[in-house]
Amino acid sequence: MRYRFFVLALTVFFAQFAVAQPRTVTELSEGWKFSRGAHEGAAAPGFNDGGWETVSVPHDWAIRGPFDKEIDKQVVAITQNNEKVATEKTGRTGALPYIGEGWYRRSLSVPALQPGQRALLFFEGAMSEPRVYLNGKLVGQWNYGYNYFHIDITEHVAAGGSHLLAVHLRNVGESSRWYPGAGLYRKVHLIIKNAESIAEWGQYITTPVVNADGAKINIRTKASGKNLRLETEILDPAGTTLAEYKSDNFFQGEVSQDIHVYRPMRWSPETPHLYTAISRLYADGQLRDSTRTRFGIRSISYTPATGFQLNGVTRKFKGVCLHHDLGPLGAAINTAALRRQLRILKDLGCDAIRSSHNMPSREQLELADEMGFMFLAESFDEWAMPKVKNGYARFFHTDAEKDIVNLVRATRNHPSIVMWSSGNEVPDQWGAEGAKRAKWLQDLFHREDPTRPVTVGMDQVKATMQSGFGALLDIPGMNYRVHLYEEAYKAFPQGLLLGSETASTVSSRGIYKFPVVKAIEKQYPDYQCSSYDLEYCSWSNLPEDDFILQDDKPWVIGEFVWTGFDYLGEPTPYDDKWPSRSSYFGLADLAGIPKDRFYLYRSRWNTTSPTLHLLPHWNWAGREGQTTPVFVYTSYDSAELFVNGRSMGVQRKRTDSSAQHRYRLMWMDVKYAPGTVKVVAFGTDGKPAAEKTMVTAGKPYRIVLEPDRDTLQADGSDLSYVTVSVVDRQGNFCPTATEQLRFDVSGAGTYRAACNGDATSLELFHLPTMKTFSGKLVVLVQSKKEAGSIELRVTGKGLKEGRVALRSVR
């Protein structure tokens, strides 16, 4: 009898223990089968997928190519480029095979659910129009490929066991203006939680009072269940518990907690301190759910008197626009690749990012929080009026509200986000109907998050003055149109303007054209753009035009340069030329290697490390005696140039000449002679402070490898970016080398991809061979799921090979 009582008591204990467990979150990364095409019956369990490719998610099915001019060839006149006549656009969406249907299938193991438990699938992005099936039955769908969404699958998996999960995706032609990627390019998770639980994205953390002495943290939490108690613990950036708060006064499923923190460590790009809120939900005294949320303590304000302020200090955005592709990785999200981008931008002195023109990934926002970047989170490139035949306009009337709701609720706890954008260069800027849409969207953002303002990137500024569109925005965003800034400032009532998209100067890394003159829409037989940084588009301008507005107009609150990195697709000014399949706008190329223009911005933005950069290169066989201007981008105000020991004179930045003389040092009459070029920069005391030298290189002799990291995590996805350069026998960089190289990775790593930054290259990223472009390329080495040594070996005909040792650790 005692034994039976003991067994009964033990059974009750374990039953209570089982139901008391908080949620589980499982990433569904492995075990996927994938195939292109319209496979009839592919959602059903009996379908034979034995011949399908085994892939891991995130996955971009199109990035492996091949490049083909016939893929999504669009015969259009691009309104945003001021085109009046339709022409054939062959590389507008990257010339990669993203169009068509794709299927993903995998087994989904689910434990038998306890009474009241819920099971959800969470998709962080799927390109595009995902339709989700379980055991052959449609259980959920979405349309916008850039958005996050979740599906409740409880009724389909309640009994537990193994289930077939299938996802169908469809990309139609003329649905994008750039390379959108294809497939399950962001993460997928299975979430299992109790009936008494915190709602998905149901916690909203704000800091309504912030100063040096203290901060009030408000945490609003939505939850389901009865007899609930919420216990919240606040950890400081070091992980020390600062405060605890218990609440049981739920009203209509929501509770609000005000927690005070004394002498807070405030979040900013310079001090990205992050606190953590751990919330535990109890029902009838039992733990039922738990969430962990990182947040920052910071204040933001936008006023005509003070401009934009972060933590009470006026500052201007030093921002860049970024598309979501990661160059040779395509759209498939990778944290190591994103972290590298942000490290490069930190060196630039950049402090802000605009997600263009899409909803940012969770990983990008987490890194922005952690590394210190303010974020302008954008939503749409189209509203009701289309830019491309099959763009988001198809879904705007039915989906825009739920897409904004998901964007805001999923991301609003990120301290990096300081502004929302409801659109970019939408044709709806014309007329009263467009103004109504702008207000409707802005009101949606305010309803979901009243703490941040809303902007729109406007390119039809005259139209928005007439319609009232620009006047109703929280922050008027100006895309280019520098000649209209003054007029817009006077016309709009807000008392401030944002350069939401600026410059669009074009250049190819290491390529220089003569004569050196300003040029609009300039084209050359090699389909490259000059890196003297004096070429731009018919609708854009040179960097200095924006610099002057930033420096001289207190009501201009900053800029977001188009773009931080080159991206796949939109190869302006060669939209109608083949082969040309990626952009020329970036401060860094598609491989992430900085162009000359990177250092022009760095000389202004990076206030902690001096800049002294010299261009062009000095290998000009056949130009002997010809005029070859030399530019210097520097944070110093003056410098002296020497060619083969002979002084070319001292140049100083000045305001009494062209805009370029205000920000660049330029020696326009230098005659080329092989040898040595040296620049000596002077400090404010007039004494030499720094110098830079370059020489005419000899013939390519050796391969040099330089990894950005030599230690990787053994997780199967970590990356080291290895810059590969060709040098002569004396070790001098060979800036014109175009050598075909081969890559071999051995040990606890694999070859992932390579990229040389050439917008005209049709070499495939995933094959272990590629030509250098302007003497360089980048190889991506990926870790395996095992610790150990990794070696990358790079060879080329007639060249001394390069080797580098890496390691993978747990």
> What CATH number has the domain bearing residue 213?
2.60.40.10
At which of 530, 547, 567 does a domain end?
567
SS3 label, residue 310: strand
Residue 14 pLDDT more than 80?
no
The DSSP call for residue 251 is B
| Domain annotation covers residue 12 | no
**Reported confidence tier of residue 4, pLDDT bands at 50, 70, 90:** very low
**Reported confidence tier of residue 270, pLDDT bands at 50, 70, 90:** very high
| Domain annotation covers residue 19 | no
Cα–Cα distances in Å, from 733 out to 102, 174, 227, 725?
A: 45, 43, 71, 7
**Reported confidence tier of residue 497, pLDDT bands at 50, 70, 90:** very high
**Reported confidence tier of residue 16, pLDDT bands at 50, 70, 90:** very low
Give the Cα separation of 350 and 251 in Å (integer).
44
The residues facing 30 across adjacent strands are: none
Give the Cα separation of 359 and 127 in Å (integer).
13
Number of independent structural domains in the chain: 5
How far the first Cα of the chain sits from its last, in Å, is: 52
pLDDT of residue 79: 78
pLDDT tens readout for residues 312-330: 999 999 999 999 999 999 9
| Domain annotation covers residue 9 | no
Average pLDDT score over the chain: 96
The residues facing 476 across adjacent strands are: 456
Give the Cα separation of 524 and 513 in Å (integer).
9
Could you say which of 129, 425, 640, 739 is catalytic? 425
Question: What's the mean pLDDT in 57-67?
Answer: 98
| Domain annotation covers residue 582 | no
| Domain annotation covers residue 304 | no
Q: Domain holding 551: CATH number?
A: 3.20.20.80
Amino acid in position 350: C
Angle between helices 596-605 and 335-348 (to 10 degrees): 60
Question: What's the mean pLDDT in 149-167?
Answer: 97
Written as six digits, the tokens of 341 are: 């981008």
pLDDT tens readout for residues 712-765: 999 999 999 999 999 999 999 999 999 999 999 999 999 999 999 999 999 999
- Give yes or no for a contact between 544 and 531, defined as CB atoms under 8 angstroms apart: no
Give the Cα separation of 473 and 456 in Å (integer).
8
Give the Cα separation of 791 and 805 in Å (integer).
5
**Reported confidence tier of residue 1, pLDDT bands at 50, 70, 90:** very low
- Give yes or no for a contact between 259 and 245, defined as CB atoms under 8 angstroms apart: yes
Angle between helices 431-448 and 396-411 (to 10 degrees): 30
Cα–Cα distances in Å, from 748 out to 55, 464, 721?
A: 19, 57, 16
On the CB side of 318, CA atoms within 13 Å amount to 22
Give the Cα separation of 269 and 265 in Å (integer).
13
pLDDT tens readout for residues 651-678: 999 998 889 999 999 999 999 999 999 9
pLDDT of residue 8: 36
Helices (H), 350-484: 362-371, 396-411, 431-448, 461-467, 469-472
370 is catalytic: no
Q: List, edge to edge, every strand of the sheet that includes 254-262.
A: 197-210, 214-224, 254-262
At which of 695, 716, 750 does a domain end?
695
CB-count exposure of residue 14 (10 Å: 0-12, 13-18, 19+): exposed
pLDDT of residue 12: 34
Q: 213 with 179, same domain?
A: no
How much of the chain, in percent, has pLDDT values that exceed 70?
Answer: 98
Question: What's the mean pLDDT in 428-445?
Answer: 97
Q: 475 with 349, same domain?
A: yes
Residue 15 pLDDT more than 90?
no
- Give yes or no for a contact between 613 and 633, defined as CB atoms under 8 angstroms apart: yes
Residue 211 pLDDT more than 80?
yes
The count of other CB atoms within 10 Å of the CB of residue 386 is 17
Q: 430 with 461, same domain?
A: yes
Helices (H), 455-553: 461-467, 469-472, 485-491, 543-552
Residue 494 pLDDT more than 90?
yes
Domain carrying residue 173: 24-193
**Tokens 């660049």 label which residue?**
664
Lowest mean pLDDT among 71-80, 218-227, 232-241, 292-301: 71-80
Give the Cα separation of 7 and 692 in Å (integer).
81
The count of other CB atoms within 10 Å of the CB of residue 74 is 19
| Domain annotation covers residue 308 | no
| CA-based nearest residue to 267, from 243, 239, 292, 295 | 295
Residue 7 pLDDT more than 50?
no
**Tokens 């990983």 label which residue?**
363
| Domain annotation covers residue 682 | yes
Give the Cα separation of 105 and 131 in Å (integer).
12
Which residues, 6+ apart, have CB-to-CB distance to 622 below 8 Å?
Answer: none
Rg from Cα positions in the chain = 28
| Domain annotation covers residue 346 | yes
Q: 425 with 437, same domain?
A: yes
Q: 683 with 716, same domain?
A: no
Strands 32-36 and 417-424: unpaired
Q: 763 with 802, same domain?
A: yes
**Reported confidence tier of residue 160, pLDDT bands at 50, 70, 90:** very high
Amino acid in position 556: V
pLDDT of residue 78: 82
Question: What's the mean pLDDT in 784-807?
Answer: 98
Q: 388 with 424, same domain?
A: yes
Give the Cα separation of 61 and 185 in Å (integer).
9
Q: 157 with 97, same domain?
A: yes
Q: 249 with 355, same domain?
A: no
pLDDT of residue 84: 83
The DSSP call for residue 788 is E
Q: 398 with 434, same domain?
A: yes
Residue 104 pLDDT more than 70?
yes
- Give yes or no for a contact between 406 and 126, defined as CB atoms under 8 angstroms apart: no
Give the Cα separation of 704 and 800 in Å (integer).
9
The DSSP call for residue 582 is B
- Give yes or no for a contact between 592 and 344, defined as CB atoms under 8 angstroms apart: yes
- Give yes or no for a contact between 782 and 750, defined as CB atoms under 8 angstroms apart: yes
pLDDT of residue 80: 77
pLDDT tens readout for residues 360-418: 999 999 999 999 999 999 999 999 999 999 999 999 999 999 999 999 999 999 999 99
425 is catalytic: yes
Q: 398 with 449, same domain?
A: yes
At which of 277, 295, 313 does a domain end?
295
pLDDT of residue 247: 95
| CA-based nearest residue to 671, from 618, 624, 615 | 624
Residue 224 pLDDT more than 80?
yes
SS3 annotation, 342-361: HHHHHHHCCCEEEECCCCCC
pLDDT of residue 82: 78
Could you say which of 174, 363, 501, 640 is catalytic? 501
Q: 201 with 178, same domain?
A: no
Which residues, 6+ apart, have CB-to-CB distance to 311 below 8 Å?
Answer: 210, 266, 268, 298, 299
Give the Cα separation of 123 and 190 in Å (integer).
9
